[in-house]
Amino acid sequence: MNTDLILTVVKLFFGMIILMFLIVLTLKLGANKVSKFQRGKYIKVLEKTPLSKDSNLFLIKLGEEGCIITSSQNNVEVIKKLTKDEIDIIEKEKKALNDEILNMYNNKFENLKNKLNIKK
């Protein structure tokens, strides 16, 4: 009877460890899926720049308009409101820069692949 009790406690202990692992795994994977699903729906941080240890400058898109906001430990302040046209220009410039960087990396990768004679 004593060994049955010990065996049951050991099984319970390992079952709890497995359950905790599954909960953590589900939360991590689920958080990624939820954030991808809701990413950029109404509010989108286009850029964040640290000004000091405790303060940041944010470029935020709210619907079709936007604003520039500073935040510190004790204060959040809207510096400037941006029109739809200004936000569109900023988004196009960011996309062009991202595309340029992506093309540069793709070209470097292709050059490296050609030097090593790697085929798909």
Angle at Cα 96 formed by Cα 120 and Cα 109, nearest 5°?
Answer: 25
Q: What pLDDT, on a 0 to 100 scale, did the predictor assign at position 49?
A: 92
Distance CA 120, CA 105 (A): 18
61: alpha, beta or left, given left = phi > 0 and alpha = psi -120 to 50?
Answer: beta
pTM of the model: 0.54
Q: What is the average pLDDT score of the chain?
A: 85
pLDDT digits (tens, 9 = 90+) for 3-36: 888 899 999 999 999 999 888 888 777 766 666 6
Other C-beta atoms closer than 10 Å to the C-beta of 111 total 10
